[in-house]
Amino acid sequence: MPCEARQTAIILFYCPFVMDPFTMEKKNTNDIFHIFQPDLLRIEQALKDRFACENPFINEVCSHIIFAGGKRIRPLLTVCAARLCGRSDDAAYELSVVPEYLHAASLLHDDVVDGGVLRRGKPAAHILWGVNAVVLVGDSLYARAIEIATRFRNIPIARIIAETVALMAEGEIIQLLSSQTRRLDEKTYLDIVHRKTGALISASCAIGAHLAEAGPRRVRALTEFGRLIGTAFQMVDDVLDYAAKTEKLGKAAGTDMAEGKTTLPLAIAMERAETRDRERLMEILSSGRMTNEDLSWTRRILDQTGAIEETRKRAKAYINEACAHLVDTFSPSETREGLVTLAHFILTRTK
């Protein structure tokens, strides 16, 4: 990899600014959640108000995962999508809890399946309360979220949510099976990413549009926007799994590889690496563990082959395509620009 390209990769990774492709303004992504502060406060309140299960144990496990410092990107998308389509009353905030609860439920089950021990810097729920209880609390949280969605008496919202939960589970299954064979082509990777991450981020936008009873063109634009930024979100996640520090990430770096999961950065590195390096990557992937030395070496190979840079480049293309859908469909507004900024934040986030 030429020195210049490597520098670009580093800049892409560490730069706290992002160039908005439409306004051509530099945006400070550290400020991103400042823009949405009033929305975030109302979302936080709705998350507390809506989650009222009468069983104290279920409440405890759910609170552990729901109030552990998530970024609230999904509820923010629901609220912004509804506002972009003309609805900004309490209902949008109330509905916005649904994707966040579903996300939390999926994290509970995913940690059981992956055997993850840290989540958002705290011990994973199954470490604290055992696998059995966490499987059941996850079921209950999934079901409560769907039940809240049905309270809006809006059939498209209920259908999208149920369909999304099925896609999320199916995405995890396909990933689990592909990690057993240690093989992953890019089509399968994108299919997994769409199901396990893109579908819920897309649904977060789509249900906001449906709540506002938007027409099909606007629903489609927001659904696509969500799908594309969701795909980019997962690609950046897969980069951070190698590149970020454990304390920043809130879970061990290199976890994907230790769990035998091939993600896009690794797939690109394997394709581009020399035979000896490819063999060592396969060895680490198959070993079921990741020493500090393995991690440093893998990071070096990912850097040398330009795999990190290539993955970020693809994520950026998805973000640009996503924003084009918004710009083509909606007139300029503070909310539209907010969504564009949010989309770009996905590229520059460091955890």
Which of 15-23, 36-44, 49-57, 332-340 is the region at the interface with a second copy (rule: CB under 8 A)?
49-57
Q: Which residues within the stretch 127-146 sit at the binding site for a second copy (CB under 8 A)?
A: 131-133, 135-140, 142-144, 146
Task: State residue 17 phi and psi, 5-degree precision.
Answer: -110, 155
Q: Which residues within the stretch 52-81 sit at the binding site for a second copy (CB under 8 A)?
A: 53, 55, 57-58
Q: CB of residue 142 vs a second copy: minimum separation in angstroms?
A: 7
Instruction: Report the 10 Å Cβ neighbour count for 147.
Output: 11
Helices (H), ranges, the chain: 3-14, 32-35, 37-50, 56-66, 73-84, 90-114, 125-129, 131-150, 155-181, 186-193, 199-211, 216-243, 246-249, 255-258, 264-272, 275-287, 292-304, 307-329, 334-348
How far is residue 287's CA from residue 54's CA, in Å, rounded to a whole number? 44
Six-digit token pair at 237? Answer: 């996640």
* 117 near a second copy (CB under 8 A): no
* 14 near a second copy (CB under 8 A): no
Q: CB of residue 166 vs a second copy: minimum separation in angstroms?
A: 4
Of the candidates 64, 72, 87, 109, which one interacts with a second copy according to CB under 8 A?
Answer: 109
Q: CB of residue 159 vs a second copy: minimum separation in angstroms?
A: 4
Which of 50-58, 198-206, 271-279, 329-337 is the region at the interface with a second copy (rule: CB under 8 A)?
50-58
How many residues of this chain bind a second copy (CB under 8 A)? 40
The type of residue at 294 is D
171: CB partners within 8 A, 6+ apart: 191, 192, 193, 194, 195, 196, 197, 199
Instruction: Report the 10 Å Cβ neighbour count for 305.
Output: 22
Six-digit token pair at 268? Answer: 């690109």
How far is residue 245's CA from residue 251's CA, in Å, rounded to a whole number? 9
Which of 105-113, 260-268, 271-279, 342-350 is the region at the interface with a second copy (rule: CB under 8 A)?
105-113
* 350 near a second copy (CB under 8 A): no
Six-digit token pair at 128? Answer: 């604290």
* 92 near a second copy (CB under 8 A): no
Of the candidates 120, 151, 278, 349, which one interacts with a second copy according to CB under 8 A?
Answer: 151
Task: State residue 118 phi and psi, 5-degree precision.
Answer: -120, 140
How far is residue 342's CA from residue 323's CA, in Å, rounded to a whole number? 10
Q: Which of residues 142 and 225 has its CB atom nearest to a second copy in the complex?
A: 142
* 51 near a second copy (CB under 8 A): no
Of the candidates 68, 91, 113, 324, which one interacts with a second copy according to CB under 8 A?
Answer: 113
Torsion, Cα of 61, 64, 65, 66 (10° steps)? 100
Q: Which of residues 180 and 286 has its CB atom nearest to a second copy in the complex?
A: 180
Q: Which of residues 23 and 55 has its CB atom nearest to a second copy in the complex?
A: 55
Of the candidates 11, 19, 128, 177, which one interacts with a second copy according to CB under 8 A?
Answer: 177
Binding interface with a second copy (CB under 8 A): 53, 55, 57-58, 109, 112-113, 131-133, 135-140, 142-144, 146-147, 149-151, 153, 155, 158-159, 162-163, 165-166, 168-170, 172-174, 176-177
